[in-house]
Amino acid sequence: MGKFITFEGGEGAGKTTLIDSLKKYFDENNIDYIATREPGGVKVCEEIRNIVKYSTEEISKRAELLLFSASRAELTQRLIRPSLESGKIVLCDRYFDSTRVYQGFANGIDDRDVMSITNFATNGLVPDITFYLDIDPKVAFLRKGGQDKGDRIEERDLSYHYMVRDGYNKIAKNDPRFVILDATLSKETILEQVLQKLRTENIIE
């Protein structure tokens, strides 16, 4: 089996930047991997992504949770599991921890309900390692040039994004699967911390 590595954090925390640097490192070192993202990754999931992020219709909290979970069910079965079975490292930009904090914690849905839906959607697939990029949402929005208007989730009040950060810290501090990274450090330092962890876990040399 390959290793399943996920990247979490608020908007503009640096997830995509970090994954891009890792991809470059893996390419240069002939390490077999795939990189994907949530919601999205395969065509039907990108269609769901368009709905959950950009629909101008009202979507209830429970329906939002199920849409993210539906996308996850498809991506897990169609891409992530087969890639792991063929021995690849799978890098995923967001996974179910995002749903736990955005649709669960910050939207007032109980974590036990979220996890029961999640277990059904993923058939119990849990990441081997989750890198959580922690940053004050105000700082993150400043560095990405403001909140993306028109993105239903990103445009929510700052108080929502602080709840998201709170939620991440609560789950990350109590679970050894998480590595908490200070997202205000330089891109190079963060990449080195991630590579160091992957070496310690014998995922790379």
Ligand X SMILES: Nc1ncnc2c1ncn2[C@@H]1O[C@H](COP(=O)(O)OP(=O)(O)OP(=O)(O)O)[C@@H](O)[C@H]1O
Q: Which is nearer to ligand X, 54 or 120 (CB)?
A: 54
Q: Which of 16, 169, 184, 193 binds Mg ion (CB under 5 A)?
A: 16
Residue 101 Cβ vs Mg ion, minimum distance, rounded to whole Å: 16
Applying CB under 5 A, the site for Mg ion has a residue count of: 1
16 binds ligand X (CB under 6 A): yes
Q: Provide the mask over 77-116, with x wherever binding to ligand X is found by CB under 6 A and - wherever it is not.
A: ----------------------------------------
Site string for ligand X, 41-80 (x = CB under 6 A): ----------------------------------------
SS (H, E, C) the chain: CCCEEEEEECCCCCHHHHHHHHHHHHHHCCCCEEEEECCCCCHHHHHHHHHHHHCCCCCCHHHHHHHHHHHHHHHHHHHHHHHHHCCCEEEEECCHHHHHHHHHHHHCCCHHHHHHHHHHHHCCCCCCEEEEEECCHHHHHHHCCCCCCCCCCCCCCHHHHHHHHHHHHHHHHCCCCEEEEECCCCHHHHHHHHHHHHHHCCCCC
Partner whose footprint covers residue 41, from Mg ion, ligand X, none (CB < 5 to 8 Å by kind): none
Q: Which residues bind ligand X (CB under 6 A)?
A: 9, 11-17, 143-144, 186-187, 190
